[in-house]
Amino acid sequence: MSSPATSASSDTESLSTQPPTVMSLAPSHNALVADRVAQKSWTIEDSEKLYRIQGWGEPYFSINAAGHVTVSPKGDRGGSLDLYELVESLKQRNLALPLLIRFSDILEDRIDRLNSCFARAIARYSYKNVYRGVFPVKCNQHRQLIQDLVRFGQPHHFGLEAGSKPELMIALATLNTPGALLICNGYKDREYIETAILAQRLGQTSVIVLEQIEEVELAIAASIALGIKPVLGVRAKLTTKGVGRWGGSTGDRAKFGLTIPEIIRAVGELEKAGMLDCLQLLHFHIGSQISSISVIKDAIREASHIYVELAKLGANMNYLDVGGGLGVDYDGSKTNFHASKNYNMQNYANDVVAGVKDACDERKIPVPIIISESGRAIASHQSVLVFDVLGTSDVPRELPEPVDENAHQIPRNLYEIYQSITPENYQEVYHDAIQFKEEAVSLFNLGYLGITERAKTEQLYWACCDKIQAIARQKEYVSEDLEDLEKVMASIYYINLSVFQSVPDSWAINQLFPIMPINRLNEEPTERGILADLTCDSDGKIDQFIDLRDVKSVLELHTLKPGDPYYLALFLGGAYQEIMGNLHNLFGDANTVHIQLTPSGYHIEHVVKGDTMKEVLSYVQYDAESLVESIRRQTEAALQQNKITLSEAQLLLQNYERSLGKYTYLQS
Ligand SMILES: *Cc1c(COP(=O)(O)O)cnc(C)c1O
């Protein structure tokens, strides 16, 4: 996390750790089939369809004629750059992979889009008030991003939402847009509340949202002590059922918010203190990534009625804050699947505006300023995580040699099976092959089959699978047991990344993100792989991928060409992933660059170098100098005992000291 200035000297030497080697592939059935198919010539349209880039990527990501991913950071407003070429040129500037590339123009476009959707809805329903969005800082707290956000939000009076004391510190110091809201959520103590009230004196429109009943008393006391009237809100626990992963954010047992009886009690306490006029906002949040529009409509209906009732009770109601939940279409299917959503941003804005208006008109209450706290929908698209593949490991796919007559019965049987596989019997013989393989293991364990024969058996088994798979892939439909074959035969692609650090939600909650190669998209991806990361944790892998229907267990990838870089990118990970990432195995933050489109190309706004080894070691209380000292002492002792030569000792110390200042990832 050092500044670009101090880390200008960069990491040009490679580490002593060797990446896994690329296993050479003997020509297999799949490769042969692939060759034939390749002649039919794979097009970028085929890649578009395969990786569903239009579904999740429009209008920012697409594929160009060179077979590279292109980024159009301004959306429909023109201008684009070739992501592969960008990565190549960043590498030449000593910015090693993995690289997190932020496109500030995308962030701006998202803010503009959300605001124009609400503006359109307001015009369409002749809504007699305005929309004032806020960005929930918890989605991505990085300074440059928050600063950009505030700047881009200025024309829309876009504000910030803080969910904790440290986030309030950020929001208070950064927000400088007159009229923008500073929404104060989360657990609060006296100091939090005082700070939020005093912020008014700086010209901030800070609203303290009471989330726990105890906070009512705290707010009253702080206000009396300071002699300043706060703007207060209440967060309601709605009965409307949330759905999916964050379904538990609503209902009586939700972690935050006041129940209806508690809201009534809060109104009573405020009234008694002569502060009912301070209560101006109603807030709810029914969870993130709401995939179904009907859930949103239900919540709006319930919340609007609570709003109207509070106005009737004499509160000075002025704001309705509909929280987050606006979803992102990670798989591009436009469905209510958890990785998708069955509505677009305009539908969302329309339903919010229309729902609130209906409830207010019915009871002749003036319509409120509408606030949304959309985080995911604003921050997800702006960053792209690019990483390289270090090598692959494949199941053996060699064509088998004939088995002679004196060989053991099992390899002989398997060879016969191998030869007999046809498009008619492939499914049936698949089960025979499995059975023989299992039998071989039993016989081996009993001492009736030697290790060479067992090896032969396994080779034949994989050869059968390879042949069967080649046939299965030509079929329109295959049964479930054969679908498993894809998973069994999948290659492992070793990626230069830590899932725990960079995509924690993939590991923690099985969230799906679009992942695809950024080059060679004009070539057919003939392999099927899963991704294994650098950590020595078997959970450090990605083996679920977006698909039109449900989820894919393997990703279509290209064979590696020695000496040719092959880059993969993970998209839509700009919300939540960065801050929730952890230091498992001590892989640190990735190098981050901020890119802005210019008329003649692009401009690198900021470079935030990823953690060095020294930095991650210091997080766990190791001091680099003491570590070096320990190695120095050990080498000295080894020298004394003639266990190491002087030049070996020198090399060891040199590598050790140099590594400390370097990136935690492998250098290819
Ligand atoms: C997390 C959170 C948000 C952001 O939700 P998204 O679904 O990312 O838009 C908004 N408001 C509150 C109170 C939250 O806790």
pLDDT digits (tens, 9 = 90+) for 132-191: 999 999 999 999 999 999 999 999 999 999 999 999 999 999 999 999 999 999 999 999
Q: Which residue's CA is the closest to the ligand 1 atom numbered 10?
A: 324
With contact defined as beta carbons under 8 Å apart, do 627 and 660 qualify? yes
Scan for tokens 């590594």, then name that residue. Answer: 659
Rounded Cα gap, residues 186 and 426, in angstroms: 59
Task: Please give the number of the atom of ligand 1 that sits closest to the Cα of 374.
Answer: 9
Residue 267 carries which side chain, given as an amino acid letter?
Answer: V
Mutate to test the pocket of ligand 1, among 114, 138, 235, 290 (most ligand atoms within 8 A of CB): 138
Q: What is the CB neighbour count within 10 angstroms for residue 265? A: 14
Which residues lie across from 190 on neighbouring strands? none
pLDDT digits (tens, 9 = 90+) for 273-290: 999 999 999 999 999 999
Which residues lie across from 517 on neighbouring strands? 568
- N-to-C CA span, the chain: 22
Q: What is the pLDDT of residue 481?
A: 81
Task: Please give the number of the atom of ligand 1 that sits closest to the Cα of 575.
Answer: 8
**Residue 380 CB–ligand 1 contact under 6 Å:** no
- Joined together, the tokens standing for residue 22 give 């690329």
- Residues near 372 by Cβ (< 8 Å), separated by ≥ 6? 114, 118, 131, 133, 134, 321, 322, 323, 324, 326, 352
DSSP state, residue 597: E
Residue 551: Cβ-neighbour burial (10 angstroms; 0-12, 13-18, 19+): middle
Chain CA centroid to CA 458, Å = 39
* Least trusted range by pLDDT, from 110-114, 335-339, 586-590, 656-660: 335-339
**SS3 (DSSP) at 603:** strand
pLDDT digits (tens, 9 = 90+) for 385-435: 999 999 999 998 888 888 888 889 999 999 999 999 999 999 999 999 999
> HSE on the CB side for 578, CA within 13 Å?
29
Q: What is the pLDDT of residue 25?
A: 40
Residue 555: Cβ-neighbour burial (10 angstroms; 0-12, 13-18, 19+): buried
- Confidence bin at 242 (pLDDT 50/70/90): low
- Confidence bin at 454 (pLDDT 50/70/90): very high
498 has a pLDDT exceeding 70? yes
**Residue 328 CB–ligand 1 contact under 6 Å:** no
**Residue 288 CB–ligand 1 contact under 6 Å:** yes
For the chain, state the CA radius of gyration: 30
Q: What is the pLDDT of residue 399?
A: 86
pLDDT digits (tens, 9 = 90+) for 351-389: 999 999 999 999 999 999 999 999 999 999 999 999 999
Helix (H) or strand (E) run with residue 11 in it: none
CA of 107 to the centre of ligand 1 (A): 17
CA of 262 to the centre of ligand 1 (A): 22
**Residue 285 CB–ligand 1 contact under 6 Å:** yes
Q: Where are the alpha helices (DSSP H) in 95-208?
A: 104-124, 143-153, 165-174, 190-198
In Å, what is the CA distance from 349 to each residue of 246, 370, 624?
Answer: 21, 10, 53
Scan for tokens 């329309």, then name that residue. Answer: 350
* Least trusted range by pLDDT, from 206-215, 235-244, 245-254, 488-497: 245-254
- Confidence bin at 27 (pLDDT 50/70/90): very low
652 has a pLDDT exceeding 60? yes
CA of 132 to the centre of ligand 1 (A): 15
User: Cα dihedral angle (153, 158, 163, 166), rounded to 10 degrees?
Assistant: 50
- Joined together, the tokens standing for residue 138 give 């918890």
Q: Compute the C-alpha angle 391/397/401, nearest 5°.
A: 140
Scan for tokens 């509070």, then name that residue. Answer: 310
Q: What is the pLDDT of residue 28?
A: 52
**Residue 324 CB–ligand 1 contact under 6 Å:** yes
CA of 500 to the centre of ligand 1 (A): 22
Question: Measuring CA to CA, which residue among 96, 13, 7, 1 is closest to residue 655?
Answer: 13
**Residue 139 CB–ligand 1 contact under 6 Å:** yes
**Residue 257 CB–ligand 1 contact under 6 Å:** no
Task: Please give the number of the atom of ligand 1 that sits closest to the Cα of 379.
Answer: 8
Q: What is the pLDDT of residue 4?
A: 37
CA of 322 to the centre of ligand 1 (A): 10
* Range 565-569 average pLDDT: 96
Task: Please give the number of the atom of ligand 1 that sits closest to the Cα of 139.
Answer: 8
Q: Which residue's CA is the closest to the ligand 1 atom numbered 4?
A: 324
CA of 660 to the centre of ligand 1 (A): 38
Q: What is the pLDDT of residue 666?
A: 95
With contact defined as beta carbons under 8 Å apart, do 579 and 400 qualify? no
CA of 109 to the centre of ligand 1 (A): 20
Rounded Cα gap, residues 441 and 194, in angstroms: 71
**Residue 156 CB–ligand 1 contact under 6 Å:** no
pLDDT digits (tens, 9 = 90+) for 525-557: 999 999 999 999 999 999 999 998 889 999 999
Rounded Cα gap, residues 211 and 236, in angstroms: 8
> HSE on the CB side for 394, CA within 13 Å?
26
**Residue 133 CB–ligand 1 contact under 6 Å:** no
pLDDT digits (tens, 9 = 90+) for 594-613: 999 999 999 999 999 999 99
Q: Is the sign of the CA dihedral 45, 46, 48, 49 positive or negative?
A: positive
Q: Which residue's CA is the closest to the ligand 1 atom numbered 2?
A: 324
> HSE on the CB side for 128, CA within 13 Å?
9
Rounded Cα gap, residues 554 and 513, in angstroms: 14
Q: What is the value of pTM for the model shown?
A: 0.91
CA of 18 to the centre of ligand 1 (A): 42
Task: Please give the number of the atom of ligand 1 that sits closest to the Cα of 249.
Answer: 15
Bridge-based pairing of strands 69-71 and 61-63 is antiparallel
CA of 104 to the centre of ligand 1 (A): 21
Q: What is the pLDDT of residue 3?
A: 39
18 has a pLDDT exceeding 60? no
- Confidence bin at 30 (pLDDT 50/70/90): low
CA of 369 to the centre of ligand 1 (A): 19
Q: Which residue's CA is the closest to the ligand 1 atom numbered 5?
A: 324
Q: What is the pLDDT of residue 595?
A: 97
CA of 286 to the centre of ligand 1 (A): 9
Task: Please give the number of the atom of ligand 1 that sits closest to the Cα of 246.
Answer: 7
pLDDT digits (tens, 9 = 90+) for 88-106: 999 999 999 999 999 999 9
**Residue 541 CB–ligand 1 contact under 6 Å:** no
Scan for tokens 């006391």, then name that residue. Answer: 221
Q: What backbone phi and psi angles, to 5 degrees, belong to 522?
A: -95, 10
Mutate to test the pocket of ligand 1, among 286, 373, 572 (most ligand atoms within 8 A of CB): 373
Q: What is the pLDDT of residue 8?
A: 35
CA of 372 to the centre of ligand 1 (A): 9
Q: What is the pLDDT of residue 89?
A: 97
Rounded Cα gap, residues 237 and 234, in angstroms: 10
CA of 324 to the centre of ligand 1 (A): 4
CA of 297 to the centre of ligand 1 (A): 17
Rounded Cα gap, residues 245 and 263, in angstroms: 27
Which residues lie across from 599 on neighbouring strands? none
Chain CA centroid to CA 250, Å = 24
Q: Where are the alpha helices (DSSP H) in 494-596?
A: 499-502, 504-508, 577-580
Question: Measuring CA to CA, which residue among 340, 356, 256, 261 is closest to residue 305?
Answer: 356
Scan for tokens 């709006």, then name that residue. Answer: 300
pLDDT digits (tens, 9 = 90+) for 188-240: 999 999 999 999 999 999 999 999 999 999 999 999 999 999 999 999 999 88
With contact defined as beta carbons under 8 Å apart, do 491 and 528 qualify? yes
* Average predicted confidence (pLDDT) for the chain: 92
**Residue 414 CB–ligand 1 contact under 6 Å:** no
Percent of the chain with pLDDT over 90: 86
User: Cα dihedral angle (472, 476, 482, 483), rounded to 10 degrees?
Assistant: 120
Task: Please give the number of the atom of ligand 1 that sits closest to the Cα of 325.
Answer: 7
**Residue 374 CB–ligand 1 contact under 6 Å:** yes
263 has a pLDDT exceeding 60? yes
CA of 667 to the centre of ligand 1 (A): 37
* Range 473-500 average pLDDT: 90
* Range 291-313 average pLDDT: 96
With contact defined as beta carbons under 8 Å apart, do 178 and 156 qualify? no
Q: Which residue's CA is the closest to the ligand 1 atom numbered 14?
A: 324
In Å, what is the CA distance from 111 to each residue of 107, 134, 151, 376, 640?
Answer: 6, 10, 11, 12, 66
Rounded Cα gap, residues 269 and 263, in angstroms: 10
Q: What is the pLDDT of residue 476?
A: 84
**Residue 454 CB–ligand 1 contact under 6 Å:** no
* Range 617-626 average pLDDT: 97
Q: What is the CB neighbour count within 10 angstroms for residue 333? A: 20
